[in-house]
Amino acid sequence: MSLPQRVRLVEVGPRDGLQNEARPIDVADKIRLVDDLTHAGLGYIEVGSFVSPKWVPQMAGSAEVFAGIQRKKGVTYAALAPNLRGFEDALTAGVKEVAVFAAASESFSQRNINCSISESLDRFLPIMEAARLHGIQVRGYVSCVLGCPYEGAVSPKQVAAVANELFAMGCYEVSFGDTIGTGTPGATRELFNEVAGQIPRSKLAGHFHDTYGQALANIYAGLLEGIQVFDSSVAGLGGCPYAKGATGNVATEDVLYMLMGLGIDTGVDLDALVAAGQRISDVLGRANGSRVAKARLSG
Amino acid sequence: MSLPQRVRLVEVGPRDGLQNEARPIDVADKIRLVDDLTHAGLGYIEVGSFVSPKWVPQMAGSAEVFAGIQRKKGVTYAALAPNLRGFEDALTAGVKEVAVFAAASESFSQRNINCSISESLDRFLPIMEAARLHGIQVRGYVSCVLGCPYEGAVSPKQVAAVANELFAMGCYEVSFGDTIGTGTPGATRELFNEVAGQIPRSKLAGHFHDTYGQALANIYAGLLEGIQVFDSSVAGLGGCPYAKGATGNVATEDVLYMLMGLGIDTGVDLDALVAAGQRISDVLGRANGSRVAKARLSG
């Protein structure tokens, strides 16, 4: 199988990234980040999450962020909607695409969202119904696809089963998340191979964490399996892998650099992306988690 | 082509690594590092370099290091010998294997070792002759194989030509170094494909730097091309990619983690390796450059 000619990068920094940073930042800084990412050419930006600020203070003000950003034609600005209340808030804020998330591991589902996988999928049903009614696209996430912090190994068949349920409910795309970053390229290929036996590859996305440094090798493995959509986080927002307890989102800059080297088109400008990542790193007062950014900015 | 079942890791931390650290360390600490690496199961350790301590103070005492280490049967303890004088000193120190290095880029050769590629190869001739005479194996390095800081792109044909010269002189293996870390997996495969048209793959090694985060993806690409030997540096010694002006050697722990995930045997124990890397990082007073080590030690 030859590599895809074009890849869609799903920028999760403003949501998955900022949500996992210790310090909440101002709405104005979030708007600036999203606008910078739009300017850099990203075609898909996960802007925020409609959850209670009591539980996730980092995501407070998501409606204000949606109201403040400059939307560019053709760019998708998405939000996470963990329940119907969140979905309705997203709708009110003018969101046109939402994401829902399930786990591939029972223990992770129980400990992370306090319900079984099956119960979590049931909770999505009213969201899916409301989304259909309002013409909103829904993207699905499955976490722990290459390992669970409580159960260890997770079987590709189990992952495929959860993904199938999300598609059956109406998700147009499912993103497969290596939440703890323990996946390696062979397991990545095996997983996508298993899932692709049931769902077209064009509907599958990869979401890799760099906690163990494996993310780019796994993305390359995904490309070799015909995957054309990858999630990443500018400046590695959501946890520098050099910090304790970090989640280790792979940095968009590093993914883009590899794709550029492979001659794969993304429409994203590396210089503008590096500038956006350094700006938000400065706002957060953290080291830039992108190796490409570090190398270019120290040059 | 299927992946190799076994890979030989060439540990370059005590030489390429420490040589590029700002602070020289004591002979006793170097001996401890090499012994730790032996204990972890590495089969090949580049222990030191026989150069003038006036030029490379970090490599002072290499003879004392060789005298002090506990040699394990079957393990190769090698040294860099940049000239005949260095080779003779290595011989006196009881070294059984040496390495020589050339560049694939004229500009880099001129600026780095003050002579043309061809002149540098000529200088190796007396070393090769003396090595043959004393039954010493010689390993060759070619630097800048995927890019040069002065010339930019370097053609695979040019790299293959330099490698061919090293083999013709008597090197038993040549290691291809992405010195500035700008290589990506497609270019890596193209390079090995070109070289393998002229030299058996079993004689080729990959030496990748993680400056742009691409090293593991490139090593995976090398594995897919049938390469079975890779250089790496415990704890990423030789430059944390998060520090300014770093060279960015890929961390042995991170390479090993990927190989373990791929089911490829190396004979190296990850726990012992992580311990060795953390100990030397503490001696140097630097952050551990391995993501795997960080993840495991923070868990």
Segment B118-168, tens digit of pLDDT: 999 999 999 999 999 999 999 999 999 999 999 999 999 999 999 999 999
Active site residues of B: 240
Q: Which residue of A3, A261, A291 is in closest CB contact with B187?
A: A261
Residues facing residue A98 across a β-bridge: A79, A138
Name the 3-class secondary structure at A256. helix
Q: What per-residue confidence (pLDDT) applies to A241?
A: 45
| Domain assignment present for A264 | yes
Q: What per-residue confidence (pLDDT) applies to A247?
A: 62
Cα distance between residue B161 and residue B138, in whole Å: 18
Structural domain of B293:
8-298
Cα distance between residue B56 and residue B51, in whole Å: 7
ipTM: 0.95
* Chain B environment of A262 (Cβ under 8 Å): 184-186
Quick check: B183 contacting A, CB < 8 Å? yes
Q: Which residue of A213, A241, A290 is in closest CB contact with B216?
A: A213
If you measure CA to CA, which chain A residue comes closest to B288?
Answer: A242
Task: Tell me the backbone φ, ψ of residue A115, rounded to 5 degrees.
Answer: -155, 165
Q: What is the pLDDT along chain B (299 residues), one digit of tens a residue?
A: 689 999 999 999 999 999 988 888 999 999 999 999 999 999 999 999 999 888 888 899 999 999 999 999 999 999 999 899 999 999 999 999 999 999 999 999 999 888 999 999 999 999 999 999 999 999 999 999 999 999 999 999 999 999 999 999 999 999 999 999 999 999 999 999 999 999 999 999 999 999 999 999 999 999 999 999 999 999 999 865 444 445 689 999 999 999 999 999 999 999 999 999 999 999 999 989 999 999 999 86
| Domain assignment present for A234 | yes
Quick check: A216 contacting B, CB < 8 Å? yes
In chain A, alpha helices (H)? 18-19, 27-40, 62-68, 84-92, 106-113, 117-134, 156-169, 185-196, 215-224, 252-261, 270-284, 291-298
CB spacing of B241 vs A295 below 8 angstroms: yes
* Chain A environment of B291 (Cβ under 8 Å): 210-213, 241-242, 248
| Domain assignment present for A168 | yes
- Candidates A125, A156, A128; CA nearest to A142 is A156
- Per-residue pLDDT of B224-235, as tens digits, reads 999 999 999 999
Which tokens go with B157? 């044909």
| Domain assignment present for B125 | yes
Q: What per-residue confidence (pLDDT) applies to B241?
A: 45
Q: Over chain A, what is the mean pLDDT?
A: 94
CATH number of the domain enclosing A278: 3.20.20.70
| Domain assignment present for B2 | no
pLDDT at A242 over 60: no
- A144, A148, A171, A240: the active-site residue: A240
Residue from B190, B216, B250 whose CB has the most chain A CBs within 10 Å, to mutate: B216
- Candidates A166, A271, A178, A154; CA nearest to A232 is A178
pLDDT at A290 over 70: yes
If you measure CA to CA, which chain B residue comes closest to A220?
Answer: B217
pLDDT at A46 over 70: yes
Q: How many domains does chain A have?
A: 1
* Chain A environment of B3 (Cβ under 8 Å): 186
| Domain assignment present for A227 | yes
Quick check: B291 contacting A, CB < 8 Å? yes
Where does residue A170 fall: left (phi above 0), alpha (psi -120 to 50 degrees), or beta otherwise? left
CB spacing of B291 vs A186 below 8 angstroms: no
Looking at CA atoms only, how far is residue A40 from chain B in angstroms?
19
Enumerate residues 6+ apart whose C-beta is below 8 A from A123.
A83, A115
- Candidates A196, A197, A208, A199; CA nearest to A171 is A199
If you measure CA to CA, which chain A residue comes closest to B289?
Answer: A242
- Per-residue pLDDT of A89-137, as tens digits, reads 999 999 999 999 999 999 999 998 889 999 999 999 999 999 999 999 9
Q: What per-residue confidence (pLDDT) applies to A240?
A: 52
| Domain assignment present for A3 | no
| Domain assignment present for A1 | no
Looking at CA atoms only, how far is residue B211 from chain A in angstroms?
6
Contact B8, B228 (CB under 8 A): yes
Q: What per-residue confidence (pLDDT) applies to A21?
A: 86
